[in-house]
Amino acid sequence: MDESVIIISDATLLPMTVGGNVIESGYVTAIDGVIVEVGAGDPPAMERGLRIDGRGKVLMPGLINAHTHLYQVLLRAVWEDLPFLAWLKRIYGVAEALNPEHVLAGTLLGCLENLKGGVTTVCEHNFLNPGPECAVAAVEAISRSGLRGVFARTIMDTGDIVPDCTRETPETAFARIEELMSRQRLNGSPEESRRLTFRTGPNTPPINASPDLLREIRGFADHHSIGISAHVAESASVVEVTRRQCNRAGVVAHLADFDIPGEDAIFAHSVHVSPEEIVQLADTNTAVSHNPVSNMMLGDGIAPVVEMLAAGVKVGLGSDGAASNHGQDLFETMKAASLLQKVKHQDAGVIDPHQVLRMGTIDGAHALGLGSVCGSVEAGKRADLILVDIQKPHFQPVNDVVSQLVHCAKATDVDTVLVDGKVLMRGRECVWLDEGETLRRAQAARRDLMERMPAA
């Protein structure tokens, strides 16, 4: 069958475009990975192509996971009761044992979990590099998974809790990142290269980023026209260190001294940011990834999402790594994002479910610089689409499909996933990645990693 032409018909269509309302019975046609037509009623007759019946399902853009560490699925529920900096030290300590096979197997499983939950784009914030091969393995796994990826290869050049093996001088790190990008350009197929973009960044300033690194990294990013990803103000303890070491009131203020904020930057977490820093984020068009489940799991606090949105900050959603989540479920993330703001403000109407769904789709795409590529269902965009089965006891009957997608839908309701017009899952069956083999490989990698792990 000619699968370069795909027609999905008779679905409840949720385009997530500006002013785009729910279409009760709609269709989408994609040719060579590009959406060519979106409409209501019956699709135009096509002689060739793959037809997918959307009856009983919502057709919507794939979800955007704007911040994660995929290999960390190997570390689910390993350290879940530690204060933030003690937890971080254990995570960094994994570098002493981590090898490329662990990263490859873990990243593949992380991709599989994201994909089965309706995520079509992942931003992999990569920071644990005991050598250059681990990042190579992570890129390879994302390429193989079929997902769209933003690979943010970040740098740690200082810090008491950073093991020597994963600390790099800016020069060494920059050379390794250039090598990684040129390797992908040379080895990847044109389709893979289109699906994968790169970023860099200081990992968790100022805990593991020296002023020298911060001074140089903006120039490096600009020189290569790649964006920046950083962990910013995740816990109060990081802000305390910033005040003590850098004589700045907060992490955003500290980063502004080095011109790190900008429209190509995404700051993960941004839990402890002041009203002045929120204005700085909005003025510089810096994006934020809100990771509510991870923030709750680590006891970090509640990010001022309503305040950031009111100020005009671009906010996407992330799961964060499974070491602090313990999953990769973006439907759960949307529900947590909605409920947490209601709790924080003691106001049930403080955030609108449509806004939350935007954060999980089109706003997340904009936050990663992919707003013209994916995140909504409209002609000209790449066909990154999902079908969500809503004929479920926990979803029926339907009164408000948008609110129910945010508050009732589960990752396991996702029936079909397409990325770049390629069908990766249909009827919950993965037709691209081998699910059984991915699970077995990750289980073996987890056993081996635990055996090699240094004692606390």
Site residues, Zn ion (CB under 5 A): 320
Using a 10 angstrom Cβ sphere, with 0-12 exposed, 13-18 middle and 19 or more buried, the burial of residue 381 is buried
Collect all residues with Cβ–Cβ distance below 8 Å to 211 and sequence separation of at least 6: 258
Question: What is the residue-wise DSSP string for 209-242?
Answer: --HHHHHHHHHHHHHTT-EEEEEES-SHHHHHHH
Query: 340-358 burial, b for 16+ CB within 10 Å, e for fewer?
Result: bbeebbeeeeebebebbbb
Please say which residue, 9 or 270, places its beta carbon nearer to Zn ion.
Answer: 270
CA distances from 333 to 109, 160, 221 (A): 19, 32, 30
Please say which residue, 264 or 320, places its beta carbon nearer to Zn ion.
Answer: 320
Residue number of the CB closest to Zn ion reads: 320
Please say which residue, 15 or 201, places its beta carbon nearer to Zn ion.
Answer: 201
Please say which residue, 116 or 269, places its beta carbon nearer to Zn ion.
Answer: 269
Least separation in angstroms between residue 266's CB and Zn ion is 11
10 CB neighbour count, 10 Å cutoff: 19
Helices (H), 346-386: 353-360, 362-367
Please say which residue, 232 or 253, places its beta carbon nearer to Zn ion.
Answer: 232
Least separation in angstroms between residue 323's CB and Zn ion is 9
Collect all residues with Cβ–Cβ distance below 8 Å to 113 and sequence separation of at least 6: 73, 322, 327, 328, 329
C-alpha 25, offset from chain centre: 30
Instruction: Calculate ∠ Cα 94-95-101, nearest 5°.
Output: 95
Least separation in angstroms between residue 113's CB and Zn ion is 16
Please say which residue, 12 or 229, places its beta carbon nearer to Zn ion.
Answer: 229
Least separation in angstroms between residue 287's CB and Zn ion is 15
Least separation in angstroms between residue 191's CB and Zn ion is 28
* H/E element, 78: none
Least separation in angstroms between residue 75's CB and Zn ion is 12
Please say which residue, 192 or 320, places its beta carbon nearer to Zn ion.
Answer: 320
Please say which residue, 320 or 363, places its beta carbon nearer to Zn ion.
Answer: 320
Least separation in angstroms between residue 337's CB and Zn ion is 16
* d(C-alpha 338, C-alpha 318), whole Å: 13
Token pair 């003691």 is found at 346
Is there a contact between 124 and 68 (Cβ–Cβ < 8 Å)?
yes
* Helix orientation angle between 84-93 and 236-246, rounded to the nearest 10 degrees: 90
Least separation in angstroms between residue 231's CB and Zn ion is 5
